[in-house]
């Protein structure tokens, strides 16, 4: 379920929320997955700067991995040093996060922190079903975010975020059969609760060129509570 705005977004420019049809009725034991998807998140100059950072730092991207060391669970490349662009992105996130807390039911805390990285997905890349706070060192992640950016015209297909509704089984949250598909819309950002199970569907990029990848700045807000 995509949440509608309450009042104006706390930004200096017009930002439109993406829309989707109302979901079909769900069984009573299903907890719908709340998320917020914001279009036109960054000003064009900052968006261009982030794409340029990705292209300039191609050699610094390293293979991604997961805590379990399963080499077949995730395929992508990751950049951890976002230089000045990371600070600028963090400033934009801090502008909107109080509103996101309200929409997703979190309480603001003074010592909440941001994690941030850049990820590149190219032909055949993916990330199988997972959540973002399922290990001891990630347990304090409360909100996940994914900012989508790419060169235009877009030269890849696929790569949607599949975000699952939840149900409780034996005392644990598990994925329900119902889900939401969030397309990687250029210069948009999606926020969702980190415990939700989700996956990145396979990407197809016929050229195979790094510059044609599906780029994201993705990360987490740590130390907040619902």
Structural domain includes residue 138: yes
Q: Which domain holds residue 208?
A: 35-222
| pLDDT at residue 26 in the model | 67
Structural domain includes residue 81: yes
Kindly report the three-state secondary structure assignment for every residue of 186-199: CCEEEEEECCCCEE
| pLDDT at residue 3 in the model | 42
Q: Which residue has the tokens 């990705």?
A: 54
Distance separating alpha carbons of residues 159 and 54, to the nearest angstrom: 18
Structural domain includes residue 121: yes
| pLDDT at residue 12 in the model | 42
Distance separating alpha carbons of residues 70 and 63, to the nearest angstrom: 13
In the 8-state DSSP scheme, what is residue 60?
Answer: G
Distance separating alpha carbons of residues 134 and 210, to the nearest angstrom: 31
| pLDDT at residue 7 in the model | 38
| pLDDT at residue 111 in the model | 84
Distances (CA, A) of 77 to 25, 45, 72: 38, 24, 14
| pLDDT at residue 225 in the model | 81
Structural domain includes residue 5: no
Structural domain includes residue 150: yes
Chain centroid offset of residue 154 CA: 19
Please state the pTM of the whole predicted model.
0.89
We report the CATH number of the domain holding residue 117 as 2.60.120.620
| pLDDT at residue 43 in the model | 97
Burial of 127 (C-beta count, 10 Å sphere; 0-12/13-18/19+): buried
Parallel, antiparallel or unpaired: strands 62-63 and 35-38 = unpaired
Distance separating alpha carbons of residues 3 and 191, to the nearest angstrom: 11
Structural domain includes residue 205: yes
Of 216, 221, 219, nearest to 42 by C-alpha is 216
For the chain, 226 residues long, give each residue's pLDDT as a single digit of tens: 344 333 345 444 334 444 444 456 667 789 999 999 999 999 999 999 999 999 999 999 999 988 777 778 999 999 999 999 999 999 999 999 999 999 999 988 878 899 999 999 999 999 999 999 989 999 999 999 999 999 999 999 999 999 999 998 888 889 999 999 999 999 999 999 999 999 999 999 999 999 999 999 999 999 998 7
Q: Which two tokens stand for residue 41?
A: 């998140």
Q: Which residues contact 87 (CB under 8 A, 6 or more apart)?
A: none
- CA atoms within 13 Å, Cβ hemisphere of 38: 25
Give how many domains the chain has, as a whole number: 1
Structural domain includes residue 12: no
Peptide bond into 153 cis (omega under 30): yes
Structural domain includes residue 203: yes
Parallel, antiparallel or unpaired: strands 161-169 and 198-200 = antiparallel
């Amino acid at each position: 379920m995509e949440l509608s705005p309450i009042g104006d977004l706390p930004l200096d420019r017009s930002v439109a929320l993406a829309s989707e049809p109302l979901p079909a009725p769900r069984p009573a034991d299903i907890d719908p997955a709340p998320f917020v998807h914001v279009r036109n998140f960054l000003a064009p100059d900052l968006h261009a700067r982030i794409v340029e950072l990705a292209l300039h730092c191609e050699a610094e991207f390293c293979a991604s991995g997961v805590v379990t060391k399963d080499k077949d669970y995730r395929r992508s490349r990751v950049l951890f040093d976002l230089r000045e662009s990371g600070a600028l992105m963090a400033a934009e996130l801090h502008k909107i996060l109080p509103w996101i807390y309200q929409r997703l039911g979190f309480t603001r805390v003074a010592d909440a922190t941001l994690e941030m990285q850049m990820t590149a997905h190219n032909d055949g890349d993916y990330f199988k079903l997972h959540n973002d706070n399922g290990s001891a060192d990630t347990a304090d992640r409360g909100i996940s975010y994914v900012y989508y950016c790419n060169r235009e015209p877009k030269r890849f297909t696929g790569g949607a975020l599949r975000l699952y509704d939840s149900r409780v089984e034996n005392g644990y949250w598990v994925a329900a059969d119902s889900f939401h598909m969030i397309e990687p819309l250029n210069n948009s950002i999606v926020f969702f609760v980190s415990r939700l199970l989700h996956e990145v569907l396979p990407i197809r990029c016929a050229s195979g060129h790094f510059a044609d990848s599906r780029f994201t700045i993705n990360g987490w807000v740590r130390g907040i509570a619902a």
